[in-house]
Structures are given as structure tokens and as C-alpha cells.
Amino acid sequence: MRIAILPGDGIGTEIVGEAVRVLDAVARVHGLKLETETALVGGAAVDAHGHPLPESTLSLARAADAILFGAVGDWKYDKLERALRPEQAILGLRKHLQLFANFRPALCYEQLTQASSLKPELVAGLDILIIRELTGDIYFGQPRGRRTATDGHFPGAEEAFDTMRYSRPEIERIAHVAFQAAQRRNRKVTSVDKANVLETFQLWKDVVTEVHAQYPDVELEHMYVDNAAMQLVRAPKKFDVVVTGNMFGDILSDEAAMLTGSIGMLPSASLDAKNKGLYEPSHGSAPDIAGKGVANPLATILSAAMMLRFSLDQPAAADHIESAVRAVLSAGLRTPDIWSEGQGAVRKVGTREMGDAVAAAITTTRKTTKS
């Protein structure tokens, strides 16, 4: 099983490093043969190769069975031409590898209900799956507004525009993914749109409704995005599977992250039609804390678990990692983003110590199971 390791920028190298150590631990326990190769991406690749997604990195990603990705971006690259900014690496990978379905589970662990910004009774037992379409919408619409300069900014310009677009086949395939996911869960899909003002999302609503006819065992509701944003903080447990477009999904999944206590807890998977995928935490590169050893690696570790489940067909190993994360949280370990005063018997730890604890919990679970 070949895994491309793309740490990226900022805290990316720190959190991916811990996820790789956890993968090594679970591979030893389960007898898995994992072959990893690391490459530069994002700002690190701009510095070394002059482009955020060099051909060598793209070739490695194409050849791999799965990709473990960290995060890209840094304020120092903001003046670059947009095509050369670090964030173009992830957009390029999605486009070239046809990764159209983004799975972002928002799960509130019992041990972290107090860390949520909402009342514990609103988030206890929360388990939402947001499915975001990744290759269409305004992020990829053409043509784009022309700028008066090549540095990514447009001083003196009077107008700029981006075109929102979706095609019927793009909407159909993501709708099928959502309904099939719901069949494995609680059989309810909420399709989020803005059909009352956007023609793009009137098409979205119509096509999702048509596809739903093939899934009579799944309940479908339509919801405007502004209402969905409100309901996520008013009554989040009313949702099961949420399917939406690229931009709305980007925003709503980050909102859902805070329901769980921290965006540092949210993994994600971006899959193609054959379940080959890129796995990454839902958060960014956080250059303000890079190198300080305080970043939460759990979202990346849980992304590695998703990789084992979806792309590498190793569900037992995926379950083992997720159980180890629960064990570590139950033991009271917290990185700064999920720690606060007055939590009782909890201990603030750094990135490396959290990774150590998860890897050790995997080995300990094995010993307990065999004894």
C-alpha cells in the first residue's frame, strides 16, 4: 500500500509527522505493509521549485494508493500571483486526481462536550457527515474577472468577478454519494442550496430531487444555506448527512467543526469515483503556532484512519486508531485548543506527546486484547 506524504507548510510537518508515527504503530500491530514517500507541496514547494504543485509531487500523488496531506499557506505568500500561491496546490490535486467528494465528519466526542462553544446538551452525541462537492462551483468557474496587476491584487480596478457553475453530471454524482452514505447511517439527507436567488442552485435542487427518486428509503429535505448555518448552531443534532456545493460546504464544515470543540479534531477525505483519496485535517497551516509544538495532531491522525478505511480497505486498523484516540481523550490528555481551566483531571500536552499517547494506546490495546 503506497502512501504519498505531503506535509506542506506551517504546522503541516508537525501534525503529519505524528500521523505517520501512528500509522507505523498500527501497521506493526495489524501486519500491514505500508510504503511511504514524502514530497514538497504548497509554500515549501514554491520556495524549492517555484510552483506550489511541482510535476514530481503530482506524479507521486497519481502513483500512490492514497495521499496524506498536511496543510498549505503562509501570509508571506499573499503577494504572489494567485496561480503560484500555496493554496493552489490543494485545488490542483483535487482537479488533476478528480477528487470530487469531500467527506467531513463532525463528531463530538463524549469527553469533549465541555469544549464545544455550545451547551453540552446541544452537542452530546453529535454525529454529522458533511459531503461537499469539490470540483465545481465558484472556485472553478470560468471565465474569471481580470486583474490589473499580476501580483494577485488589483489596485485601481473597478470590478472583479468569479463565475459560479455546476453541470448536471457533477450534481448527480455527488447526490448519489450522499444518498449512499445516508443508507449506511440514519437515512436522512439535507441538501443545502440557495435556489431562491441563484440559478446554479435551482439546478442543484432539481437534480438532487431527481436522484432522490432512486433512494426511496432515504428522507430528503432541502434547506437554504443561511437557514442551515443557523440550524447548525440552534439544533445541530437534527442533521445526519448534509450535501452541498463547494463554497457552501467549505463554510458550513468549518462552522460544524466548532460544534465538536475544535477544528483540530476534524478529519476529512476527498475521494474519486474509485475511492482513491486525499486525506487531510479540516484546519489550515496556522503559521502563528508553527514550530511551537502545540498544534493538535488528532484531526490528521483521524484522517489517517479514514484513509485506512476508505482507500486502503483496512477497517480494523481504522477502528483501532479511532479507539486509541478515544482512550487518550478519556485519559485526560488535551492539546491547548481543547483544554481550558477547571476541567478537572485533564492535562495539557503538546503535539508530540499527544502523538506518543495515541501510538502507545494502539500498542496497549493490542496487549490487552491478547492477554
| From 162, 206, 254, 319, active-site residue | 254
| From 9, 193, 250, 337, active-site residue | 250
Among the listed residues 116, 7, 15, the one whose alpha carbon sits nearest the alpha carbon of residue 72: 7
**Cβ-contact 152, 80 below 8 angstroms:** yes
From the number of C-beta atoms within 10 Å of its C-beta (0-12, 13-18, 19+), residue 127 rates as middle
Catalytic residue list contains 77: no
Catalytic residue list contains 139: yes
| From 139, 188, 272, 319, active-site residue | 139
Catalytic residue list contains 250: yes
Q: How far apart are CA 10 and CA 86, in angstroms?
A: 11
**Cβ-contact 171, 204 below 8 angstroms:** yes
| From 9, 109, 194, 279, active-site residue | 194
Angle between helices 298-310 and 12-30 (to 10 degrees): 50
Q: How far apart are CA 341 and CA 343, in angstroms?
A: 6
Catalytic residue list contains 254: yes
Cα angle 262, 265, 269; round to 5: 130
| Phi/psi of residue 118, nearest 5 degrees | -100, 165
State which amino acid sits at residue 117. Answer: S
Catalytic residue list contains 337: no
| From 226, 238, 292, 313, active-site residue | 226
Active-site annotation, residues:
139, 194, 226, 250, 254
